[in-house]
């Protein structure tokens, strides 16, 4: 049985991933920006992207994936950068909203209304 995230994720989909589990109720969960590489066997393989520039990754050469790191082309300046590759269960992956609505003041316009999307919206708007 597949989840909504598994059905909606394809290579290149921008997502949030839960990077840690809180030790107690007062600790929050950290979320990282990522791009889906592939979905298979109830696992979603993602490439973590730099938070300051989530669109930095514009092309991934699948032949260059080595273990937990990969080299990625950057179309802007043709440099190669290493990004971390990780696998997550679908319950740790949250779909990102389209760019057009990510910074809207009205949160009801968000396509996906979950904690990481709301926190990211507030971060983009106020920080």
pLDDT of residue 81: 53
pLDDT of residue 68: 39
DSSP strands (E only) in 5-120: 14-18, 31-40, 43-48, 59-66, 69-73, 80-88, 93-95
d(CA 104, CA 6): 26
Q: Assign 45 to helix, strand or coil.
A: strand
CA-only gyration radius of the chain, Å = 15
pLDDT of residue 27: 65
pLDDT of residue 73: 42
Report phi then psi at 37, rounded to 5. Answer: -100, -50
pTM beyond cutoff 0.75: no
How many other CB atoms are there within 10 angstroms of residue 43's CB atom? Answer: 15
pLDDT of residue 38: 92
pLDDT of residue 92: 92
**pLDDT < 50 regions, the chain:** 1, 54, 56-80
pLDDT of residue 119: 92
pLDDT of residue 66: 37
């Amino acid at each position: 049985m597949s989840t909504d995230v598994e059905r909606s994720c394809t290579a290149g989909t921008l997502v949030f991933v839960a990077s840690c589990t809180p030790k107690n109720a007062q600790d929050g969960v950290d979320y990282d920006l990522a791009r889906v590489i592939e979905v298979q066997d109830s696992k979603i393989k993602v490439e973590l992207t730099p938070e300051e520039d989530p669109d930095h990754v514009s092309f991934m050469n699948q032949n260059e994936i080595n273990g937990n790191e990969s080299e990625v082309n950057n179309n802007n300046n043709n440099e190669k950068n290493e990004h971390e590759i990780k696998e997550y269960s679908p319950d740790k992956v949250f779909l990102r909203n389209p760019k057009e609505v990510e910074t809207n003041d009205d949160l009801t316009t968000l396509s996906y209304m979950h904690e990481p999307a709301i926190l990211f919206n507030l971060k983009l708007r106020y920080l």
